[in-house]
């Protein structure tokens, strides 16, 4: 299990994707007539935001909704300005707390636009967010006069800023005045060197100020700073303290990290039951790593009774959110028939998803499936392809199998030099290569070829000698 997550960027990809999934699920669960009404409020809210947001934030919002995708993707300043809108939208949501039904819809609509903006900042997520808000525009004519008229005030058609006030200065002023959201935002800016010189000590200062006001994200980030010794002396006990405060407010990342601390005994006595408690809380919020780790606890019987069926359930949840480790484990369970009916076709499906994300062990396992024709048509070329990808990441099993393939010319042209080199690299990493295999290969080689293979093995070991 990984110990710590890095401090998230202002808009982390996983957070953006997670919130969009929640948004989409909520919309899909509503009847058609309710969706139409909700979209109407959402469209009106967009217009109201354009009219009421202070300069230049109104222009930034309008630009995000009207400028073409290529302009937003290519313009770093515009993307930065959009990112700086997000804490403001969070504050606006809080302003609409209350029982008034109109407030509930308006609050939801502000959240909707915040999620859209979050996803627009990530090239790979942009398309689905644009598609959703364009559906609203089509229904309600959102891209009307006010949107178009606001954009030129600070952004031309290329997204170039024209005399716009600096939003970072606004956040600095608000932070100095004690605004917790601004303090948190300024801490993120210093942590990432975004608009200000990168300075971990300053980041800690602003995170602490916001954290002491109860800001959960700031508490989480301050915990990460203590865990990593970034801007403060490394202190696992302090990290646990801040993770706990954020976790008790429902911050899923803090709940996950607190679970990791209990699982490994960092800053607290090792306690599998407490680890399970926090993994469960984060998993129930859709945190993929927590779902994976919670699944491992069931698989290994740590803190909970061993239960392969529960492990499969949790691995599947995490897998569907793109977690490569969970995808790999789900593949293993289908391959071995643990907690599910044995199914090589399903195993291949999950191995492939993890392999395509670069997980070396999944690449090796997929290569074995192709080599043996299990769950797929036997294909020596595909087997070699996946063995090579895993071998070049340092997987000793794959290096050994790639060496054997070169020795017999299966899926590759027979090449004893390559065979000898890969077998030696695997052996140097601790793989027990049978002596007879190396002897058989060497019997087919000249002394010059053996010398060449030995030199090639040294080169490969430098490049691919890391175990994974």
DSSP, res 165: P
CA distance 221 to 236: 13
Give the pLDDT confidence of 214-245 residue by residue, as tens digits: 999 999 999 999 999 999 999 999 999 999 99
CB atoms within 10 A of CB 409: 13
Virtual torsion, Cα 93, 95, 99, 101, nearest 10 deg: -60
- The answer to whether position 152 is within a domain reads yes
pTM of the complete model? 0.68
**Which pLDDT score, from 0 to 100, does residue 130 have?**
61
- Could you tell me which residue, 84 or 234, shows the higher pLDDT? 234
Q: Tokens 């109407």 appear where? A: 40
- The pLDDT confidence band at residue 206, using thresholds 50, 70 and 90, is very high
Number of domains in the chain: 2
Residue with tokens 């954020």: 246
Tell me the C-alpha distance between 443 and 23, whole Å. 65
What is the reported pLDDT for 133? 58
Burial of 76: CB neighbours in 10 Å, binned 0-12, 13-18, 19+: exposed
Which is more confident, 173 or 409? 409
Buried residues in 220-237 as b, exposed as e (16+ CB within 10 A): bbbbbbbbbebbbeeebe
CB 216 within 8 A of CB 231: no
Alpha-carbon Rg of the chain, whole angstroms? 27
Predicted confidence (pLDDT) at residue 124 exceeds the cutoff of 60? yes
- What H or E segment, with its residue span, contains residue 112? helix 101-120
Residue 150: closest CA among 78, 75, 61: 61
C-alpha span between 92 and 97 (Å, rounded): 9
Instruction: Reply yes or no on whether the pLDDT at 32 is more than 60.
Output: yes
Q: What is the DSSP string of 176-216?
A: HTT-HHHHHHHHHHHHHTSSS---HHHHHHHHHHHHTTT-H
Task: State phi, psi for 100 to the nearest 5 degrees.
Answer: -60, 120
Q: Is the model more confident about 113 or about 149?
A: 113
Q: Is residue 146 part of a domain?
A: yes
451 in a structural domain = yes
Helix (H, G, I), strand (E, B) or coil at 415: coil
DSSP annotation of 392 reads T
Assigned domain for 206 exists: no
Residue at which a domain ends, from 139, 165, 191: 165
Calpha distance 451→62 (Å, rounded):
67
Q: pLDDT over 90 for what percent of the chain?
A: 54
The answer as to whether 361 is a domain residue is no
> Are 45 and 113 contacting, i.e. CB atoms less than 8 angstroms apart?
yes
- Picking from 131, 165, 199, the residue at the C-terminal end of a domain is 165
Distance of CA 412 to the CA centre of its chain: 36
Q: What are the beta bridge partners of residue 239?
A: none
Q: How confident is the model at residue 459 (pLDDT cuts 50, 70, 90)?
A: very high
Separation of alpha carbons 390 and 397, rounded Å:
9
Which run of H or of E encompasses 8?
A: none
Q: Tokens for 23? A: 């948004």
Average pLDDT of the chain is 82
- Residue range(s) defining the domain that contains residue 41: 13-165
State the Cα torsion 378-381-382-386 to the nearest 10°.
Answer: 130
Q: pLDDT above 70 covers what percent of the chain?
A: 75
Report yes or no on 292 lying in a domain: no
Residue linked to tokens 């090796």:
364
Q: Is residue 189 part of a domain?
A: no
Evaluate whether 42 touches 112 at the Cβ level (below 8 Å): yes
* CB-count exposure of residue 1 (10 Å: 0-12, 13-18, 19+): middle
> pLDDT band at 126, cuts 50/70/90?
low
CA distance 58 to 63: 9
The C-alpha atoms of residue 43 and residue 141 are separated, in whole angstroms, by 8
Give burial (CB, 10 Å; 0-12/13-18/19+) of 243. Answer: buried
Does a structural domain hold residue 270?
Answer: no
Q: Which pair of tokens denotes residue 426?
A: 């695997």
Higher pLDDT, 438 or 98: 438
Of 148, 165, 182, the position where a domain reaches its end is 165
DSSP line for 76-95:
HHHHHHHHHHHHHHHHHHHH
């Amino acid at each position: 299990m990984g110990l710590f997550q890095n401090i998230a960027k202002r808009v982390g990809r996983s957070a953006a994707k997670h919130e969009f999934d929640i948004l989409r699920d909520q919309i899909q669960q509503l009847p058609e007539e309710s969706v139409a009404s909700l979209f109407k409020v959402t469209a009106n809210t967009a217009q109201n935001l354009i009219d009421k947001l202070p300069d230049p934030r109104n222009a930034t919002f309008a630009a995000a909704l009207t400028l073409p995708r290529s302009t937003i993707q290519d313009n770093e300043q515009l993307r930065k300005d959009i990112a700086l809108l997000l804490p403001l939208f969070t504050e606006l949501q809080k302003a609409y707390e209350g029982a008034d039904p109109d407030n509930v819809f308006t609050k939801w609509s502000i959240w909707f636009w915040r999620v859209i903006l979050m996803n627009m900042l990530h090239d790979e997520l942009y398309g689905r967010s644009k598609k959703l808000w364009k559906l609203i525009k089509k229904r309600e004519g959102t891209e009307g006069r006010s949107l178009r008229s606001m954009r030129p005030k600070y952004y031309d058609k290329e997204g170039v800023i024209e005399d716009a006030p600096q939003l970072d200065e606004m956040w600095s002023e608000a932070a100095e005045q004690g605004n917790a959201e601004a303090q948190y935002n300024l801490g993120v800016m210093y942590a990432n060197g975004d608009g200000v010189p990168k300075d971990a000590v300053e980041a800690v200062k602003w995170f602490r100020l916001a954290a002491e006001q109860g800001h959960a994200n700031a508490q989480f980030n301050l915990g990460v700073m203590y865990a990593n010794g970034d801007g403060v002396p490394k202190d696992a006990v302090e990290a646990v303290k801040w993770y706990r405060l954020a976790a008790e407010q429902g911050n899923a990342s803090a709940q996950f990290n607190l679970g990791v601390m209990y699982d490994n005994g960092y800053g607290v006595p090792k306690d599998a039951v407490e680890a399970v408690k926090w993994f469960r809380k984060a998993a129930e919020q859709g945190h993929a790593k927590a779902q994976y780790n919670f699944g491992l606890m069931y698989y290994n019987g740590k803190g909970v009774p061993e239960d392969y069926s529960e492990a499969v359930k949790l691995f599947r949840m995490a897998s569907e959110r793109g977690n490569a480790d969970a995808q790999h484990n789900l593949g293993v369970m289908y391959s071995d028939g643990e907690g599910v009916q044995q199914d090589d076709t399903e195993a291949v499906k999950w191995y492939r998803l993890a392999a395509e994300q670069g997980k070396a062990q999944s690449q090796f396992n997929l290569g074995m499936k192709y080599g043996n024709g299990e769950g797929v048509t036997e294909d020596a070329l595909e087997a070699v392809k996946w063995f090579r990808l895993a071998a070049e990441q340092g997987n000793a099993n794959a290096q050994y199998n790639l060496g054997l393939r070169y020795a017999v010319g299966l899926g590759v042209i027979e090449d004893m030099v390559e065979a000898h080199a890969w077998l030696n690299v695997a052996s140097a990493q601790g793989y027990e290569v049978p002596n007879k295999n190396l002897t058989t290969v060497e019997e087919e080689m000249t002394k010059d070829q053996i010398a060449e293979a030995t030199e090639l093995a040294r080169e490969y070991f430098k490049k691919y000698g890391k175990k994974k």
